[in-house]
Amino acid sequence: MTASVKIFTLFFGIFVILSGTAFPEGPATGQCLPSQYDLEGPYYLSGAPLRSDIAGPDEPGQRIIIKGKVLTSDCRTPVSEALIEIWQTGADGEYHYREEGFRLRGQINAGIDGHYSFSTIKPGRYGLLRGFRPAHIHMKVTHPEYEPLITQLYFKGDPYLWPQDACGRGCKSNDPHRIIELDEKKGVLQGTFNIILTPAKK
């Protein structure tokens, strides 16, 4: 991580923590609500390749598969062919960039039935200010008929979820809809994460 990125990350972290006081607690489970919006953050890059294998075959780390559906605001009707951009850290908690072939970055299209799936490795935690961010995967979801969404998914049991998250409430790691459980199947961890979009205003 370059010095300029570290400085940007420091100020971004302070901004999110200060602004996070305006965000409410996460919604109760069982409610049908749109996925909560996040700030894009300093690590997003446009132009990552289309690929469902986000982590290359030689990428160190524990293999995981994430799957789910992209749905409209009734939490039942699929959104066809939404574009999902994905970025994350490596197992060591470091982000990577264009110069490394968009390592641990990619784009996928949900199917006509709204289903999507990708394979990767479980991301590592990284330090922020005087604490740590829990392991997480970023997603940016776009579709011409829906409001764009930037979100993050987290993993159940991570000791740095809110209230230990150094990002504070601004990163919403207290949202039960974004904390997924991973189950092991044939040596690979698998989890389900559904994405609820809001129709665009006309």
Tokens of 90: 């490596």
Catalytic residue among 138, 143, 169, 177: 138
Residue 76 annotated to the active site: no
Domain ranges of the chain: 3-25+34-196
Active-site option among 103, 125, 133, 178: 133
Specify the pLDDT at position 17: 40
Identity of the residue numbered 18:
L
Of the candidates 116, 126, 146, 160, the residue annotated as catalytic is 126
pLDDT at 30: 58
Query: 183: how many CB neighbours lie within 10 A of its CB?
Result: 10
Strands (E) across 72-167 are located at 83-88, 105-109, 115-121, 126-128, 131-133, 136-143, 146-155
Active site residue 126: yes
**pLDDT confidence of residue 24:** 38
* Tens digit of each residue's pLDDT, the chain (202 residues): 454 444 444 444 444 444 443 333 444 445 688 998 888 888 999 999 999 999 999 999 999 999 999 999 999 999 999 999 999 999 999 999 999 999 999 999 999 999 999 999 999 999 998 899 999 999 999 999 999 999 999 999 999 999 999 998 888 999 999 999 999 998 899 999 999 999 998 7
Active site annotation includes 143: no
Provide the pLDDT for residue 132.
96
Eight-class DSSP state of 125: P
pLDDT confidence of residue 32: 82
How do beta strands 63-71 and 188-192 pair? Answer: parallel
Give catalytic status of residue 133 as yes or no. yes
- Continuous H helices in the chain: 3-19
Residue of 96, 103, 125, 136 marked active site: 136
Q: Cβ distance 136 to 78 under 8 Å?
A: no
Provide the pairing of β-strand 131-133 with 126-128.
antiparallel
Which tokens belong to 129? 């200010």
- The answer to whether the CB of 167 falls within 8 A of the CB of 100 is no
Say which residue the tokens 């010095």 belong to.
3
Structure tokens at 160: 């740095």
What does the alpha-carbon distance between residue 86 and residue 100 come to, in Å, rounded to a whole number? 16
Contact by Cβ (8 Å): 187, 196: no
Annotation marks residue 138 as catalytic: yes
Of the residues 95, 146, 154, 160, only one is catalytic, namely 95
Q: Which CATH superfamily is domain 3-25+34-196 in?
A: Aromatic compound dioxygenase (2.60.130.10)
Residue type at 50? L
